[in-house]
Structure 1
Amino acid sequence: MPCLQALKRWVNLVIDAALSLTVSKLNGHLSGRFGAPEDIAVLAPLTDPDGKVSELTRNRLALFITNISEDSVPRRGQGRGAPLAGFTAGEDPLHLDVYAMLAASYDANIYGEGLKMLSAALMYFQSYPMMTPQNTPNMPKGMQQLSFEISNLRVEEMGQMWGNLGGRYVPSVMFKIRTVTLTSGAITSLKPAIRKPRRSLFPLREAQS
Structure 2
Amino acid sequence: MIDQALLLLKTELVAYLASKGDNAANVIVDNIGLSETVSGSSLPDNIIITLVNIEEESTLKNQAAVQRSPSGLAQYENQPINLNLYILITCNYFSDNYMLALKRLSMVIRFLQSKSNFSAANTINGDPTETEMSEELNFNLELFTLSFEQINYLWGSLGGRQAPFVMYKLRLVTLTEHVIVREAPLIEEIETNLSTIFK
How far apart are the structure 2 equivalents of 1:179 and 1:81? Answer: 22
Cα 1:127–1:91 change in 2 (3 A) is same
- Equivalent residue letter for 1:141: S
How far apart are the structure 1 equivalents of 2:11 and 2:175? Answer: 20
* Uncovered stretches (5+) of structure 1, i.e. residues with no partner: 1-13, 83-87, 186-209
Are the counterparts in 2 of residues 142 and 183 from structure 1 also a CA contact under 8 Å?
no
- Are positions 1:154 and 2:147 aligned together? yes
Q: Which residue of 1 aligns with 2:183?
A: none
**How far does the alpha carbon of each residue in 1:8-61 deviate from its partner, in whole angstroms, 9 at most, with x for none?**
xxxxxx211111111111111111212415x52110122438735823221111
* Uncovered stretches (5+) of structure 2, i.e. residues with no partner: 68-74, 126-131, 179-199
- Equivalent residue letter for 1:42: I
TM-superposed CA distance for 1:142, in Å, is: 5.1
User: What root-mean-square deviation, in Å, do the aligned CA atoms of Structure 1 and Structure 2 show?
Assistant: 2.8
Cα 1:81–1:145 change in 2 (3 A) is farther
TM-superposed CA distance for 1:179, in Å, is: 0.6
Q: Which residue of 1 aligns with 2:197?
A: none
Q: Identity across aligned pairs (percent)?
A: 27
TM-superposed CA distance for 1:79, in Å, is: 7.6
- Are positions 1:66 and 2:59 aligned together? no
- Equivalent residue letter for 2:111: Y
Are the counterparts in 1 of residues 5 and 137 from structure 2 also a CA contact under 8 Å?
no
**Paired positions, count:** 164
Larger radius of gyration: 2
TM-score normalised per structure 2: 0.72
Q: In structure 1, the residue corresponding to 2:31 is in which secondary structure?
A: coil
Cα 1:113–1:79 change in 2 (3 A) is farther
How far apart are the structure 2 equivalents of 1:180 and 1:101? Answer: 16
Going by fraction, where is strand more abundant, 1 or 2? Answer: 2
